[in-house]
């Protein structure tokens, strides 16, 4: 009997030791407190498992590992709230929808998810994929099968027949889609489409309030849903406990979507005084996806014409919105634009009127507030151990964020200068 008790206790102790969380001590020259805008220097961050246990604890406890980040600045892991990880614009992408399957998209996402994580983005919102490839990618990352950021997936974007969220440019009968794939007309179909996305794993809803660039329609910023339809979309998403993002370029659609109660406007490229006033009045967030407009890209003639139209106007729109005090959260539109260059969005925001601290806040505390994520966006005891580091002072040189040297997500190191 004693031998069995002894064996059981030994097994219990072995199991307890096996599952004990690793403790890590991270030393850096400084840490940015994104709330105050002040540096804590020098800094020691204690990580226990997947959480920050303490900042500058005294006395220093015994730990399993120490990481030295000399001459580096620690920041919270960044959040990109407008990505398409399972897509790109390489090769013959115009015909990809009829030549490949959502399985291909999910596998492509494996490549871009890891690339995104290694550039410092530990949380992303994926706002539109095919066949729930983004949901599959999220599950693979959460299950430790592949490496990548935390994903908040949208499933299929929701839009009108023949509109920006539909697949256009093909002959009748080719890849015709229904509300299950997000093509929905009228309040009833919109509600069904949104419920269907939620049923299959969507953590956010994306709706196309206006036309756009990468669809084969001649209009660009024209309103595609009525305000009644937009209100139905908002009400349905919110009843399900989901945030709703509205793709909108033109001012009429921006105003209608904001008045309908969407949580964020994506792009917002063609702002007017009236559109800016609506965003401020309603407290609607703007996710600008600014830098990608200035990245050279080869597009079919119709799409290139629309792209150039926005490119000539988006800078002025963003300067005016920043000056007016519109609430900004960070987004890159990676997938429509290049992957792995998210740090350039910080630079673009600063070049258009933000301070470096304001730009950093868009991808940290602002993004967390917009998505009601109170477990990240800061380096603070009890929050997720999502940390990045750059070599120098990003408040002096915002371009340092284009070259992240250290990435930790969930207490696990994915990139280190060592």
Task: List pLDDT tens digits, range 195-210.
Answer: 999 999 999 999 999 9
Residue 17: band (very low, low, confident or very high) from pLDDT cuts 50, 70, 90? very low
Q: Which of 85, 122, 161, 127 is nearest to 243 (CA)?
A: 127
H-run or E-run covering 45: strand 43-48
56: pLDDT strictly greater than 70: yes
Does residue 2 or residue 397 have the better pLDDT? 397
Q: Say what the pLDDT of residue 6 is.
A: 46
Residue 8: band (very low, low, confident or very high) from pLDDT cuts 50, 70, 90? very low
CB 249 within 8 A of CB 210: yes
What percent of the chain has a predicted confidence (pLDDT) above 70?
95
CB 71 within 8 A of CB 29: yes
Peptide bond between residue 19 and the one before it cis (omega within 30 degrees of 0): no
Could you tell me the residue ranges of all domains in the chain?
19-76+378-415, 78-370
**Least confident window among 59-63, 149-153, 213-217, 404-408:** 213-217
5: pLDDT strictly greater than 50: no
Helices (H), 88-204: 96-99, 102-118, 133-142, 186-199
Residue 214: band (very low, low, confident or very high) from pLDDT cuts 50, 70, 90? confident
| pLDDT (tens digit per residue) in 311-344 | 999 999 999 999 999 999 999 999 999 999 999 9
| pLDDT (tens digit per residue) in 360-370 | 999 999 999 99
Query: Is the four-CA dihedral 257, 259, 264, 270 of positive or negative sign?
Result: positive
Q: Say what the pLDDT of residue 2 is.
A: 52
The mean predicted confidence, pLDDT, of the chain is 94
In order of 154, 195, 204, the CA distances from 200 in angstroms are 10, 9, 12
| pLDDT (tens digit per residue) in 269-279 | 999 999 999 99
Name residues whose C-beta falls within 8 Å of residue 220's C-beta, 6 or more positions apart in sequence: 210, 211, 212, 213, 249, 250, 306, 309, 310
Residue 3: band (very low, low, confident or very high) from pLDDT cuts 50, 70, 90? low
For the 19-76+378-415 domain, the top CATH level (class) is mainly beta
DSSP bridge pairs for 82: none
CB 139 within 8 A of CB 172: no
Structure token pair of residue 339? 């992957």
Give the distance from CA 130 to its chain's centroid.
17
CATH superfamily of 78-370: Metal-dependent hydrolases (3.20.20.140)
Backbone angles phi, psi at 249, to 5 degrees: -100, -50
| pLDDT (tens digit per residue) in 130-178 | 999 999 999 999 999 999 999 999 999 999 999 999 988 888 989 899 9
Beta-strand runs (E) in 50-202 = 51-55, 65-76, 78-83, 121-126, 150-153
Residue 222: band (very low, low, confident or very high) from pLDDT cuts 50, 70, 90? very high
Q: Say what the pLDDT of residue 4 is.
A: 54
Residues in the chain, overall count: 418
């Amino acid at each position: 009997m004693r031998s069995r008790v002894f064996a059981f206790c030994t097994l219990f102790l072995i199991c307890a030791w096996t599952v004990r969380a690793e403790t890590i001590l991270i030393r850096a020259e400084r840490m940015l407190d994104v709330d105050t805008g002040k540096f804590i220097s020098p800094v020691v961050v204690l990580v226990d498992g997947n959480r920050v246990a303490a900042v500058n604890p005294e006395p220093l406890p015994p730990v399993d590992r120490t990481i030295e980040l000399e001459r580096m600045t620690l920041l919270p892991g960044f959040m990109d709230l407008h990505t398409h990880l399972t897509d790109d614009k390489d090769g013959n992408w115009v015909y990809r929808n009829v030549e490949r399957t959502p399985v291909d998209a999910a596998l492509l996402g494996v490549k871009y998810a890891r690339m995104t994580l290694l550039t410092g983005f530990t949380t992303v919102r994926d706002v539109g994929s095919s066949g729930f490839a983004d949901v599959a990618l999220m599950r693979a990352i959460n299950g430790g099968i592949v490496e990548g950021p935390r994903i908040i997936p949208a499933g299929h974007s929701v839009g009108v027949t023949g509109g920006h969220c539909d697949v256009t440019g093909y002959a009748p009968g080719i890849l015709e889609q229904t509300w299950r794939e997000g093509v929905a007309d009228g309040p009833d179909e919109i509600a069904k489409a949104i419920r269907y996305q939620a049923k299959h794993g969507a953590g956010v809803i994306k709706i196309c309030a206006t036309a756009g660039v990468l669809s084969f329609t001649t209009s660009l910023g024209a309103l595609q849903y009525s305000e009644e339809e937009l209100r139905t979309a908002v009400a349905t998403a919110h009843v399900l406990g989901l945030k709703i993002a509205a793709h909108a370029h033109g001012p009429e659609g921006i105003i209608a979507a904001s008045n309908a109660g969407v949580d964020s406007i994506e792009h917002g490229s063609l702002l007017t005084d009236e559109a800016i006033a609506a965003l401020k009045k309603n407290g609607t967030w703007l996710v600008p996806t600014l830098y990608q407009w200035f990245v050279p890209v080869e597009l079919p003639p119709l799409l290139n014409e629309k792209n150039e139209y926005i490119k000539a106007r988006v800078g002025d729109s963003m300067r005016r919105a920043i000056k007016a005090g519109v609430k900004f959260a960070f987004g890159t539109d990676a997938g429509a634009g290049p992957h792995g260059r998210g740090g350039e969005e910080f630079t673009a925001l600063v070049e258009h009127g933000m301070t470096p601290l304001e730009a950093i806040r868009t991808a940290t505390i602002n993004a967390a507030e917009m998505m009601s994520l109170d477990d990240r966006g800061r380096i603070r005891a009890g929050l997720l151990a999502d940390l990045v580091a750059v070599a120098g002072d990003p408040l002096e040189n915002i371009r340092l964020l284009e070259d992240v040297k250290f990435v930790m997500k969930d207490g696990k190191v994915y990139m280190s200068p060592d």
